[in-house]
A and B are shown apart, each in its own frame.
Chain A
Amino acid sequence: MSVRQRVMGLNGDEAVAWAVKQCDVDFVSAYPITPQTIIVEKFSEFVANGEVETEFVPVESEHSALSACIGAAALGARAFTATAANGLALMWEIVYIASSLRLPIVMAVVNRALSGPINIHCDHSDSMGCRDASWIQIYTENAQEAYDTVIQAFRIGEHPDVQLPVMVTLDGFLISHTLQNVKILPDEVVKDFVGVRKPVEVEIPGRGRIPLILDPENPLTFGPLDLYDYYFEHKVQQHEAIEKARPVIKQINEEYYKISGRKYGDGFVETYGLEDAETAIIVLGSTAGTVRYVAKELRRKGYKVGMLRLRTFRPFPYRELVEALRHVKAVGVMDRSGAYGAYGGPVYIETKAAFYDEDEKPKILNYIYGLGGRDTPPTMIRKVYEELLEVSRTGKIEKKMKFLGVR
């Protein structure tokens, strides 16, 4: 049974700040960047009002923000930071270090187009750029899901089998600055759900099992030089860890449903109308709402269309994707990031690869859309469905990759 929840008018950034406030976070360090600023601005209010006991460290750059989180997390603290676009780019070096040190930091990335040309609006080029950084990546659809997912993210990252940082993304402005009704769980319910971070133990020859934290009683060296003799082994451990996150993400999605009454598909993909669909669109982030709206409208008119929202991008749910879409005739994959010189956008490439070994598979098209915050209205989605229906009838693809809404 889910508990009674308070409905608040919050934008996506504020919803994230509320989640962090309730998760008993020990340490927050961040640097402001549009459209992420409201998260830490709101959180610093909680700190100033004495509503949280979090150590809040304002820093001079995003590189330092994530570095500070690494220091805190290595001490055993629960750490959080948030950024967007160029801020994430400046963090780059540290993004990979956080995951290699196996620190379950949670970072909200408010998706914004990477410069240049300079732009502050939504696309996924920032977080897609670090899709191979060994971070778990979850793309949310609205403010409610952003709130819910940040709470889940601490449980996922801190799970003993996982021990990896988690990136929770929300679309810049479309989610971050849009006021929505958000159901907020009672403080104690969230506190019980996330618990206290318990460091894992590692086996050190001659010293037994000791906690994987910086502790003067049990000294460990974090981040020493690791050359051709062991670097590869440590990277395989990261590979293993993100694979082990698969059942954890599903389990936490279910556990969260029990306390809140909300769940997001199986934690990886959320579908609509796929049972009898002939065509489908794969989409992530806030555009999923528009796609679902158009799909409903077309289904009312008798068209067999469906949609799949990709929620978790890393680890990539290739099995779930194939299961959900193998019977569909034509699939349009929507990518909100460029793919310069590539076969297609990142979601398209992953989707095609997932289907390569299958005997039964749809025709798969790629639509690059919404770069730099270009609006993606229902009329545009309708056109995509029309084209997909045509492909499902004829079996012919005129062009594999198209740019939606470009002049």
Chain B
Amino acid sequence: MSELKGWREIPIAGVTWKSSMETKTGDWKTFKPVIDQNKCIKCLICWISCPDMAIQWNGEKVVENYDYCKGCGICANVCPVKAIKMVKEE
């Protein structure tokens, strides 16, 4: 995290002054989804089911974004071809 600001330097009223994109919220998961690209049929059910933005479509294939993944496992659970495995974080 960058240096913390003093009370005179931040906007009043507790409003946010940074984009939430800058805050990585995926650092406390126990299991992470790993997609087997050979099995994936690109149906995007995992993408639409992810409650965060941890499953993304990059124009060619479905990819994991661990910056925001909390490891809930919904993606693995909804995958109709069992292409997503939950793997324990090291």
Q: A residues engaging B (CB < 8 A)?
A: 100-103, 163, 200, 202-205, 212, 220-224, 226, 229-230, 233-234, 236-237, 240-241
Contact = CB atoms under 8 A, between A and B. Distances in A.
Interface string B1-36: 000111100111111111000000000000000000
Interface of B: 4-7, 10-18
Nearest to A236: B7
A233 B15 contact: no
Given A233-B6, A234-B7, A205 B14 contact: no
B56 to A, nearest CB: 23
B71 to A, nearest CB: 21
A240 B12 CA distance: 11
A101 to B, nearest CB: 5
B7 to A, nearest CB: 4
A203 B11 contact: yes
B12 A102 contact: yes
Contacts of B15: 202, 212, 220-222, 224
B10 A233 contact: yes
Given A202-B15, A230-B14, A233-B6, 10 more contacts: A103-B13, A163-B13, A202-B17, A204-B11, A222-B15, A233-B5, A233-B10, A236-B7, A237-B7, A240-B7
Given A229-B4, A233-B6, A100 B14 contact: yes
A98 to B, nearest CB: 11
Nearest to B19: A206
Contact of A212 (B5, B6, B7, B11): B11
A289 B15 CA distance: 44
Contact of B14 (A224, A236, A240): A224
Given A229-B4, A233-B6, A202 B11 contact: yes
A224 B12 CA distance: 13
A164 to B, nearest CB: 10
B13 A102 contact: yes
Nearest to B16: A221
Given A205-B18, A229-B4, A212 B13 contact: yes
Contacts of B4: 229-230
B17 A204 contact: yes
A289 B63 CA distance: 75
25 contacts: A100-B13, A100-B14, A101-B13, A101-B14, A102-B12, A163-B13, A200-B12, A202-B11, A202-B13, A202-B15, A204-B11, A204-B17, A212-B11, A212-B12, A220-B16, A224-B14, A226-B14, A229-B4, A230-B10, A234-B10, A236-B7, A237-B7, A237-B10, A237-B12, A240-B7
